[in-house]
Amino acid sequence: MSLHQKHYFRLFLIIIATIFYFLANIHRVAIPGAVFSLLQSDLGVCASKVTMFGAIFCYCYAFCQLISGLMVDKFGGFRVIAVGAIIFTLGAILFPLSDNLIVLYISRALLGFGSATFYLSAIREVKLYSKDKNFSLAVSYILFIGYTGGVVANAPFVSIVNNYGFKNTMASLGIFAIILTFLYLTILFIFKPVHIEKESSFSLSPFKEILSNKKNINIYIFGATNYGLYYVLQSVLGKKFLEDFCNFSINDASVVLSIMAIISAFAGTITAYISKAMGGKKEIIFKTVGILSVLSVITTAGLLFFNIQSKIIALIFMIPAFIGSISPLLVITLHNLNRYEVSATAVSIQNFGFFITVGVLGMVSGMLMNLYDPVNINGTLVYTAKSYIPVYILFIILSIVELICAFRYKDEKRA
């Protein structure tokens, strides 16, 4: 096979991996966020059991990140994606085939494990073949395509579910995953990747090296709290909150969440360009993100406390949607702070922090909401401001932590 042919096969594999990342975002955002009330009424369960759909996905996604980082460093991204695609497809097929809560949770776990391989593996392969100055932009493009899955997972997804049914919609996603997996494995067999680090062995030494660096820890805490505060709204709580407190219809609330996803998709590329235009500086961007995070959370909490059911909250939601998408800057920061040989592991720890935070926040939010009994309106459980105030008190604390970490970050001085 010529180098020219290998180049195109490599490109096709990265494109398919990015499409898998797109699908993973649909599953991650749509369940339970877009269909929270539907799941609650169909399964006859409380809010905490519905939020567990998101929590289980995020826990499995987060823990698998740590394994994926080591596997990518040793075997290369393309092989890891192949394993992830098979696991992901099993979860996608299983979910629409059962009404049993335990089986549904297992399918979410499989989806979480499989999804964890796509982003990290793809950016590692991109890193091998892109120039350093273009790397953050290349990552932002992958994120953009992936995040459009979050757009589809709201208004378009709700519309399709209304027209064709929930089970049929999920079954169609499963069938598409089967086709995509078959195509990927076929191209991979032809491509025959050769990257295996024979001298690399599985050990805890990369984690020790990475976690002993205080600058890494600061970035991890900052990134995890920032992303967690955004993504718990996008994928778990936001749509239900808009319906319950702001009196949005199901369709209008899903449109708001889709707009959030659109903003998030563009934001990563925008912030990457801004940083590049500033000569690679990130300090001022991180500080601005921290300040905006605190202001948006406190403003929403104030409206809740005074029971002001204003639709302006939908506009406030756009702030975490924009500032929550700074992953390209965080990735390049971690690549700069760590040796190339452990860079994939460093990013995997970051992703672990992202999704363990979302999982815990989703689970705890459901528990806090249940401190006050919801009101049953025509078979739909509606939570009042009292149920959401404890949630936002937690959000305020986390946003302050985020702000502190943002102001601790300093750009590296260049000679």
Above 60 in pLDDT, residue 111?
A: yes
pLDDT higher than threshold 50 for residue 188: yes
Per-residue pLDDT tens for 281-316? 899 999 999 999 999 999 999 999 999 999 999 999
Q: What percent of the chain has pLDDT over 70?
A: 94
Residue spans per domain, the chain: 3-193+204-408
CA gap 222, 216 in Å, rounded: 10
* Alpha helical stretches, state H, 116-165: 118-129, 132-152, 155-164
DSSP string, 50-66: HHHHHHHHHHHHHHHHH
Q: d(Cα 233, Cα 263) in Å, to the nearest integer?
A: 14
Domain 3-193+204-408 has CATH 2.60.40.1930: no
pLDDT number for residue 310: 92
Predicted confidence band of residue 415 (pLDDT cuts 50, 70, 90):
very low
Name the pLDDT band for 236 (thresholds 50, 70, 90). confident
pLDDT tens-digit profile of 339-387? 877 887 888 899 899 989 998 998 999 899 989 988 988 878 899 999 9
**pLDDT higher than threshold 70 for residue 130:** no
Report the pLDDT value the prediction gives residue 412, as an integer from 0 to 100: 73
Say if residues 34 and 233 touch (Cβ distance below 8 Å).
no
Q: Is the pLDDT of residue 388 over 80?
A: yes
Residue 331: the pLDDT is: 86
User: Which residues does 134 contact at the CB level (< 8 Å), separation at least 6?
Assistant: none
What pLDDT is recorded for position 76? 81
